[in-house]
Amino acid sequence: MSLMELFILAIGLSMDAFAVAICKGLAFKTVTCKKAGTVGLYFGVFQAGMPLIGYCLGAQFQDKITAFDHWIAFVLLGLIGFNMIKESRSNGCEVSTTHESCENADESLNFRTMSVLAIATSIDALAVGVSFAFLKIDVVSAVALIGIVTFSLSVIGVMIGNVFGLKYKSKAELTGGLILMSIGLKILLDHTNILIA
């Protein structure tokens, strides 16, 4: 996987966090750099940590399933992408794992609230991390890039949510879903020699 593909993957993975950051921005009466940075830090750290955990889990089974590892990556990314597209079509600003909607979002940045949101938006990254183990990816660079991209987009999401409200939330989830499904398809085509990288 090239650096550009990793960057695009990082954008796709960060779209859930971006969408929830928009909700947090909507809840803030005023946005400060500290508030936006705190949201970005929670989402960025968890989004980077989950693929690392997934990679460690996947590495244990790497030798046993190399014959069909590309199918695993394709299915995982496809399911995650499909779920994001489905969520983009639902109303409101809901994170299915936490059932927190924008209307009920509060200004709280306490550890419990933010860690629940960060875990909910990074579960997909855990599954992607499993596929990293099969794709011979430099996992340190990959998780660092995912964390930085998620941090940056979450900070931007807070500011967008505070200024524009929910306008970009569903578009972000739809885009993220399409990106992840496309990368999954490319991995499958590459490994079955249908597509020459």
Q: Which residues contact 131 (CB under 8 A, 6 or more apart)?
A: 54, 58, 69, 72, 73, 76, 77, 187
pLDDT higher than threshold 80 for residue 140: yes
Domain housing 164: 3-191
* 197 domain residue, yes or no: no
pLDDT band, residue 96 (cuts 50/70/90): very low
Residue showing tokens 């909910």: 120
Under 8 Å between Cβ of 173 and 22: no
Residue 10 domain-assigned? yes
Tell me if 91 is assigned to some domain: yes
Q: Is the pLDDT of residue 137 over 70?
A: yes
**Host H or E run for residue 49:** helix 33-59
Q: Are 46 and 111 in contact (CB under 8 A)?
A: no
| Residue 10, CA atoms < 13 Å, CB-side half-sphere | 27
What pTM was estimated for this model as a whole? 0.70
If one counts the domains in the chain, the total is 1
Lowest-pLDDT range, 46-50, 93-97, 114-118, 158-162?
Answer: 93-97
Beta-bridge mates of residue 100: 95
pLDDT of 103 above 60: no
- The answer to whether residue 196 is domain-embedded is no
Q: Largest Cα–Cα distance in the chain?
A: 53
